[in-house]
Each structure stands twice: as structure tokens, then as C-alpha cells.
Amino acid sequence: MILLSFDVEEFDLPLEYGKQLSFSEQLSVSTKGTLIILDLLKKVNIKATFFVTANYAVSQPQIISMIVKDGHELASHGYYHSKFADAHLLESKLALERISGSLVKGFRMARMMPVDLLKLKQSGYTYNSSINPIWIPGRYNNLNKPRIWFFEKGIFQLPSSVSPLIRFPLFWLSFHIMPMQFIKWLSFRTYKKDKYLNIYFHPWEFTDLTHEKFGIPYYISKNSGDAFVLRIQNFILSAQKKGIEFGTIDQFFDKISVIKQIVNNTDDFKEIENLSHGNEG
């Protein structure tokens, strides 16, 4: 299946570019984008996973209720988007579960930064989707990480999807700057190889990110707002025409858990990769 996920957080991106934005404005932008996403998902009749910071959830509990009510999966994006402490792993999980009334199984670190898997497991999580297996100068270099899902230290690791061999990233930014025909062609080829895609976005991408207001570079703000809604809708409809299903990461994890049982609960990701995907890429 294709796994779409959305990182719902305080919209603090402008702060990285020297623009000041009040907390209420940060919440407003993220909320506006989340509502647009929920409408789109309802329109195309698919479910997705929402990684939410507890800081956002505490401030906007009505949005969390809407996410859960619509049948989407709720997962943790930490407590705050701009700072992290080990205690936030459990604190964010408990806060999200209290607000939503649903079990939180998954975690994604802000900005795809590393996370201690043992502490993640101790906090009650079953999967982690904090790896982008590419090199982004000044951010991270994960070229030594597996390209596809694997188990490590008792945690299901689900990297963001990249193409085989050259590892072209199929993440949010690519959907802004690349022609959609190219993105769809590469995405569906990768899907055919891996039997799944894990693609993540942010609610603020679905709003108008004018440079004058937020100071965000053009390569990020390009095709934002209504143009981005149309792009993602086009991608979803194209996949559905090919008979590809969409689902939550939790649903995908349940399927993979069956494979893990076949190999006697091993943590050797190479053995599981060979079983399910083959050796290429």
C-alpha cells in the first residue's frame, strides 16, 4: 500500500529564516493546512497517519478529535517541534492518548533527527519513522541506513521512501519542485519494486507560503497552497487508477509483523529484507 503521513506541528519553519511568528500564528497555519488535508482525504476516501506534537495537540484538541473521528492513525511527533528531551517520548505519547482516547504506537522525530530506539521502546512505541535514507548537507547523512523497512532493537523502522540505487527522495520537497509526471513515474516504479511507499508531508505546505510573509525560500514555497492540493490529489487519483491501496502505517506494521514472525522474531533486517524484497537497491 501507499502510506501517506502528515507531520502536524507548530509552524516554526519561518523562524529558521529569521522571521518571527507568534505561537498563535504558528497554530493557525498548521490548523488551516490540517483541515484542508482532512477534506482532501475524505474526498478521495483514504486513511493516513498524522504525526502530531503534543504541544499542538494540547492547544488544538478539537483537531485531534477530527483526525481520530475520520479513522486516521494518530502518532507522536514529540512534545515540541523545536526542542527535545528523552522524557518527551513518554510525555508526548501519554498526552496524545489522553486527548484522543486512542493508542499511539508510532513516533517520528522532528526534522527526521536520530532517536534512541531503546528509550523509544521503553516508552511504549512499536515503530519509528524518523529516517530519511539520503544525504542532506547540514542536516543528516543516512546513506548507511537501509532503504526499506527493517527491525532494529525491537522497533520496526520505516524509512521515508527513496528510489532504488540512486536513492532519489520521494518526500514532501520533491513534490514541490519536480514535475509531477516525473514524481509519479519514479514513485510507481519504486512502489513496484518495494511493494509500498512511505511519503510524508506537512499541513503548512497546503497553505499559501508567500515569501513576503514567511521568508521561506522559493524552492519550498513553490507550488504551495491550492497548487499543492491539486498535486497531491492528482498523485492519489493516479495511484488509485492503478489499483494501489492507501493505508495507515499501523495497518502496514500489522502486515509486516506477520513476516517477522516467520523469521522467528529476528532483529536481523538483512534476513527480513531478503525474505520480502530481494537483494537489489
Q: Is pLDDT above 50 for 278?
A: no
Query: So what's the architecture of 2-276 in CATH?
Result: Alpha-Beta Barrel (3.20)
* Chain segment 18-71, per-residue pLDDT in tens: 999 999 999 999 999 999 999 999 999 999 999 999 999 999 999 999 999 999
Handedness of CA 221, 143, 168, 132 (dihedral sign): negative
pLDDT confidence band for 258 (50 / 70 / 90) = confident
pLDDT, residue 281, reads 43
pLDDT, residue 27, reads 97
* Chain segment 118-175, per-residue pLDDT in tens: 999 999 999 999 999 999 888 889 999 999 999 999 999 999 999 999 999 999 999 9
pLDDT, residue 247, reads 97
- Domain coordinates in residue numbering, the chain: 2-276
**Distance from C-alpha of 90 to C-alpha of 38, rounded to nearest angstrom:** 27
pLDDT, residue 273, reads 46
Mean pLDDT rounded to a whole number for the chain: 92
Residue 5 bridge partners (DSSP): 49, 200
90 Cβ contact partners less than 8 Å away, ≥ 6 residues apart: 123, 124
Least confident of 63-72, 184-193, 249-258: 249-258
pLDDT, residue 263, reads 56
Handedness of CA 226, 228, 179, 141 (dihedral sign): positive
Q: Mean pLDDT, to the nearest integer, of 78-102? A: 96
Q: Is pLDDT above 80 for 260?
A: no
**Distance from C-alpha of 239 to C-alpha of 236, rounded to nearest angstrom:** 5
pLDDT, residue 118, reads 97
pLDDT, residue 147, reads 96
Q: Are strands 49-52 and 73-76 parallel, antiparallel or unpaired?
A: parallel
Model's pTM, two decimal places? 0.92
pLDDT confidence band for 212 (50 / 70 / 90) = confident
pLDDT, residue 262, reads 61
Q: Mean pLDDT, to the nearest integer, of 193-206? A: 97
